[in-house]
Structure 1
Amino acid sequence: MSMMADHGGGGGPVLCSISVVSCLLLACGYVGSLYVWRSQLPRDHPTVIKRRFTSVLIVSMLSPLWLWTWRQYTGFKTGPSLLVLMGVHLEGIFAAACLPLLLTMVLFFGPLIQLVMDYPWDFLEGMKMFLDPQFWAQCLADMRWMRNQVVAPLTEELVFRACMLPMLVPCTGLSRAIITCPLFFGVVFQFSYTAVFGAYTAFIFIRTGHLIGPVLCHSFCNYMGFPAIGAALDHPHKVTIFFFYLLGVILFFLLLFPMTDPTFYGSLAICHLTKPDTSTSVCT
């Protein structure tokens, strides 16, 4: 018997219970995989990082199977394929890779200006380094770089956005799923600014229908870190820097919806999980 009779944000107690428990188990599995290895070594030690890579990649590879099982059991067997539902497809991929990342860079306008002021690189030298294969070989050999820029963004967005959001949307609706999804990470791990960031990447995932945008935004934010506001206060050009901080925030909110307009990205598969008459502006 199908449990999808009403899936526009009020999917019934059985469907909601299954969805919430499934997401909680996924979150516990992901976070638990990071701490399954007992070691006295620090978290940045290559041995610890490699072990965590192994366990978290296993959980990440099993997560789509978990979503497929949920889909089969709850009756959502028709419509977009599983990969498309998870945001893995080619339609609109160029826009999905570029526009959300550019939007995130706008938000970090102030920190980027601060970075340029403190490290006045020569543009041509910077481009040469960026295009140098040896530079990328060194990055790929650095376990911390791989964790922060590749493995963590890819696996977290795959599990917490691509696999959890399709399970939540039929129960909570689109807008509430954006707020609810990051809470599963917070319940298991910690409540912090990461919950706000999780809501942002969930918004990007739903608005674009792609996984690549959240992954690239996550990687960029990991590189930038939390804005060094304390250093900005002590900076000799603090007035200029705070002007760009403010400008970046204003432009971000002005461009948030235009740059994530679903018309840039093709059909949004996740919107098929909610009734057309109950879809919010998130999908339009």
Structure 2
Amino acid sequence: MANMWSAPKAPAFAPTTAALFSVLFTFIYVVPFYLSSATRPSPQLTRDAPSCIRARVRAVTLSSILSLVLTTYVLHQHGGLPLQDIASLLGFWPISLVDTAKSMSLVAILFAGPLFEYGIVENGWTDWIRGRGIYQVLTSWMGYRNFVVGPVSEELIWRALIIPLHVLAKFSAKQIVFLTPLYFGIAHVHHLYEFQLTHARTPLLMAVLRTVFQFTYTSLFGFFAAFVYLRTGNLLTIILAHAFCNWMGLPRFYGRVGVEAGVPIGPPDADKRDDGDSPQYESRGIAWTVAYYIVLVAGAVGFYWQLFPLTESSHALLSL
């Protein structure tokens, strides 16, 4: 990778500085949710209420702009980096659509099983080709949050802003991949409080287990996103991957296809696909289920084999 971005020989920031900024950005993102009655959930107001989503979108937009300006200032004034290098570190430029296509094909391979189920078993492929429902989803507040604001703001904060600080602090690539996503996972722990407010009858243990599960899968996605970001230096790719994963949800790991719904992933109590219509399930032959699990396993194996080849890029930030 001859064009790999090269960090200064001496660390521009101490490791503790990178960690403190990461915590700061996490607080700047989450704390505003609880500063106003319009954004703060209550037994009468869930986080999925349109009024709450609108207010949170405004808060997240301001938080993201503030964090972006602060990072740019710190990198330029204290890190001594020209704006061109900052744009490269933050994944804004250059944008390689080839790298994006390769990385997104890798994500599609991983989700081969769910794509088979939703597209073939449930005959959803015709709707995908026609783009049916896309406008309705993206113009709904929940869809706008799940597929636009969430992916853009979260990947900006936890990948484009936090990772460069760790690169300049001379963290190794493996440390960055496995450390920085923990901030991303921790940022979702506040959902425990919100869930308890709106589901007061749910036992605390079940709520805690639910939060641990959410922390686990958000961190797992974070490991992958950090890996791809370091390998490609491309913020657009990570945003699209995040939106795609939100749409697909957690793959089915049990049960027959076409019978019961799988377990959703993402914001609590939200249908990630949010297409306005609940999927209609009908009995399918056992062969469909067998085919699904074969495709699911094949996708996981293919993902493992193609992880490095499909994320190879001349714009990598660090070698992995």
**Fold-level similarity (TM above 0.5):** yes
1:187 CA displacement: 3.2
1:244 is the counterpart of 2:295: yes
1:91 CA displacement: 4.3
Do the aligned residues in 2 keep the contact of 1:63 with 1:159 (CA within 8 Å)?
Answer: yes
1:61 is the counterpart of 2:60: no
SS of the aligned residue for 2:254 comes to: helix
1:87 is the counterpart of 2:91: yes
The percent identity for this pair of structures is: 27
Do the aligned residues in 2 keep the contact of 1:110 with 1:242 (CA within 8 Å)?
Answer: yes
| Structure-1 separation of matches of 2:45 and 2:298 | 43
| Structure-1 separation of matches of 2:124 and 2:48 | 28
Structure that is richer in helix per residue: 1
In structure 2, the partner of 1:6 is 10
| Structure-1 separation of matches of 2:78 and 2:180 | 19
**Aligned residue runs from structure 1 range 1-284, under 5 A:** 6-7=10-11, 15-36=14-35, 37-39=39-41, 40-72=44-76, 74-78=78-82, 80-92=84-96, 94-121=97-124, 123=126, 126-128=128-130, 130=131, 135-171=133-169, 172-190=171-189, 191-232=215-256, 236=286, 237-263=288-314, 267-268=315-316, 270-271=317-318, 281-282=319-320
Amino acid at match of 2:60: V
In structure 2, the partner of 1:275 is none
1:144 CA displacement: 0.8
Do the aligned residues in 1 keep the contact of 2:107 with 2:241 (CA within 8 Å)?
Answer: yes
Amino acid at match of 1:169: V
Amino acid at match of 2:87: L
Amino acid at match of 1:221: C
Amino acid at match of 2:306: L
Q: Structure 1 unaligned runs (5+)?
A: 272-280
Amino acid at match of 1:258: P
SS of the aligned residue for 1:192 comes to: helix
Larger mean Cα displacement after TM superposition, 62-71 or 190-199: 62-71
CA displacement, residues 79-128 of structure 1 (integer Å, 9 cap, x when unaligned): 84322221112442x113311111101000111112134311463x6533
SS of the aligned residue for 1:162 comes to: helix
Do the aligned residues in 2 keep the contact of 1:26 with 1:159 (CA within 8 Å)?
Answer: yes
1:186 CA displacement: 2.7
Aligned residues: 255
1:139 CA displacement: 2.8
Do the aligned residues in 2 keep the contact of 1:107 with 1:252 (CA within 8 Å)?
Answer: yes
Larger mean Cα displacement after TM superposition, 247-256 or 38-47: 38-47
Q: Structure 2 unaligned runs (5+)?
A: 1-7, 190-214, 260-283
Amino acid at match of 1:248: G
Do the aligned residues in 1 keep the contact of 2:40 with 2:52 (CA within 8 Å)?
Answer: no
| Structure-2 separation of matches of 1:202 and 1:180 | 9
In structure 2, the partner of 1:277 is none
| Structure-1 separation of matches of 2:47 and 2:83 | 43
CA displacement, residues 162-190 of structure 1 (integer Å, 9 cap, x when unaligned): 00000012331222111111111233433
TM-score (norm 2): 0.73
Do the aligned residues in 2 keep the contact of 1:60 with 1:155 (CA within 8 Å)?
Answer: yes
Larger mean Cα displacement after TM superposition, 249-258 or 76-85: 76-85
